[in-house]
Amino acid sequence: MKICPQCTSDSHERTSSTGLRVVLCLILIFIVPYGFFICWVPFIFPHKFHCNVCGYHGKEEELLTLDWRESEELKEKHRELHESLQLVKDRWVQDTEHNSYKVVHGKGQYLLIKVQENNIVPYRIVGYHIDSKPNIILIKDNLAENFNVTLSISKNVDKSNIQLNDFGKTILMDEEFDEFLNRSLLAFSQWLTQSNKVAIKVDIEVLLNSERTIIEGKNNFSNKSTLFAGENETKEETTANKKDSNFHI
């Protein structure tokens, strides 16, 4: 299985065309004088890919290759995250500063939908610590554009200019969006509390996109790119871990 080096998703697609390379090769052979000497040039350029989850664009050689055991280990981490979020899935949570968020599952990803003063912004949930008090939700902001929940009918992003897109309508209720439009941020948070829509109080921790979490291979994985190695590991520690690992590199 090949996965994105940024978010470890296997939902990615090639953006460079093999057919175009063939056409260029034929042009070089039949149109350009002595082109058959350089007709191989179009094929030396690396293919590129686009991640459908985090939106990362890169060369296909950057994709990480996991064997079946590593794949199962990664899937298990995602299953654990799935199970831990069931109590708050499709519910609202608030942090200590009364900011409001909704935990949803859409397009194969767990998302934290944050309500801002003039917009509603999605984040990717990459971890959930239920043993801490309050619980901690770990999030990142690297998401592809297809995860946006609103669209603006004007260049100026303002409540009067935004509406839910098709994806937004699947994860937010009409009542919730109407209350967001008609209330201030504080008043909206109070309405959620008074309507018993808030499941729990949580802490929200926004991670750097370069920081790896458990579901992104922080522990237990090995890979020749060493992206699955802990950030503080030395080269010697990484080498030792690879020798002790049960996974094939």
d(Cα 201, Cα 96) in Å, to the nearest integer?
A: 7
135 in Cβ contact with 114 (< 8 Å): no
d(Cα 248, Cα 241) in Å, to the nearest integer?
A: 12
Q: Which two tokens stand for residue 165?
A: 């897109």
What is the reported pLDDT for 16? Answer: 66
Phi and psi torsions of 35, nearest 5°: -65, -20
What is the reported pLDDT for 249? Answer: 26
Q: Does pTM surpass 0.85? A: no
The CA-based angle 217-80-50, given to 5 degrees, is: 45
CB-CB neighbours of 27 under 10 Å: 13
What is the reported pLDDT for 191? Answer: 95
d(Cα 62, Cα 12) in Å, to the nearest integer?
A: 12
Helix H or strand E segment including 3: strand 2-3
83 in Cβ contact with 37 (< 8 Å): no
d(Cα 6, Cα 51) in Å, to the nearest integer?
A: 9
- Grouping H, G, I as helix, E, B as strand and the rest as coil, residue 43 is helix
11 in Cβ contact with 51 (< 8 Å): yes
- Report which of 47, 7, 20 is spatially closest to residue 217, judged by C-alpha positions: 7
Taking every pair of Cα atoms in the chain, the longest distance, rounded to a whole number of angstroms, is 78
116 in Cβ contact with 101 (< 8 Å): no
d(Cα 100, Cα 121) in Å, to the nearest integer?
A: 11
- Report which of 18, 17, 3 is spatially closest to residue 62, judged by C-alpha positions: 3
Digit-by-digit pLDDT tens for the chain (249 residues) are 888 888 888 888 888 677 777 887 888 788 888 777 777 777 777 788 889 999 888 888 888 888 888 888 888 988 999 999 999 999 999 998 889 999 999 998 999 999 998 899 999 999 999 888 899 999 999 999 999 999 876 666 678 788 999 999 999 999 999 999 999 999 999 999 999 999 999 999 998 877 666 555 554 444 433 333 333 333 333 333 333 333 222
